């Protein structure tokens, strides 16, 4: 999936897959049937999709109607309150170190799945490039796929 903005395209994890993993964690942690849960993926901004998207994927303007379309009560008030309490007690402290640990964790998952070399700065894939000029002309190296925004490079092993 690509998000395009001003002729810039970036890859990101499939949010539908991410939300499914979140639902499975909620199901296991709180002993709630996955049938009592649903996910909504909301995009904010000027993203465009290259394919049709499922009904639970929407832009911000369609978020509330998507949520309100699921009006059947699947959890009673006590179950909702217990779930909120459990989620809040399990939440990690917000902060820079938590964000960095999460980014590293996601990069590791992506690297394991794709066995792809990743940029240490952006987590984007590295592509094999060849120096065109300068003292290293003709030599190959790994360059960040986000070039020119990122100029991360690694020597070829």
Decide: pTM greater than 0.85: no
pLDDT band at 1 (very low <50, low <70, confident <90, very high): very low
pLDDT one-digit tens code per residue, 16-53: 888 888 888 888 887 778 888 888 888 887 777 778 88
Q: Do the bridges between strand 8-11 and strand 2-5 make them parallel or antiparallel, or are there none, so unpaired?
A: antiparallel
Give the residue among 12, 7, 1, 6 at the shortest CA–CA distance from 122.
12
| Structure letter (DSSP) for residue 1 | -
Quick one: which of 75, 94, 67 has its CA closest to 31?
75
What percentage of the chain exceeds 90 in pLDDT? 1
Report pLDDT for 5.
46
pLDDT in tens, 95-128: 998 888 888 887 777 666 656 677 877 777 788 8
CA distances from 33 to 37, 76, 133 (A): 7, 13, 60
Beta bridge pairs of residue 154: 142
**Domain extent listing, the chain:** 2-90, 101-155
The percentage of residues in the chain with a pLDDT greater than 70, rounded to a whole number, is 87
């Amino acid at each position: 999936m690509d998000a395009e903005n001003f002729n810039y395209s970036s890859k990101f994890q499939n949010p539908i897959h991410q939300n499914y993993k979140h639902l499975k964690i909620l199901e296991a942690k709180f002993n709630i049937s996955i049938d009592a849960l649903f996910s909504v993926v909301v995009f904010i901004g000027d993203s465009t999709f290259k394919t049709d998207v499922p009904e639970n994927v929407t832009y911000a303007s369609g978020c509330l109607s998507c949520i309100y379309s699921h009006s059947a009560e699947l959890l009673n008030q006590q179950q909702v309150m217990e779930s909120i309490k459990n989620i809040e007690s399990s939440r990690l402290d917000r902060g820079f170190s938590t964000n960095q640990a999460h980014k590293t964790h996601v990069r590791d998952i992506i690297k394991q799945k794709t066995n792809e070399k990743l940029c240490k700065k952006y987590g984007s894939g590295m592509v094999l490039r060849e120096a065109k000029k300068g003292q290293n002309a003709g030599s190959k190296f790994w360059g960040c796929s986000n070039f020119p925004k990122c100029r991360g490079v690694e020597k070829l092993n």
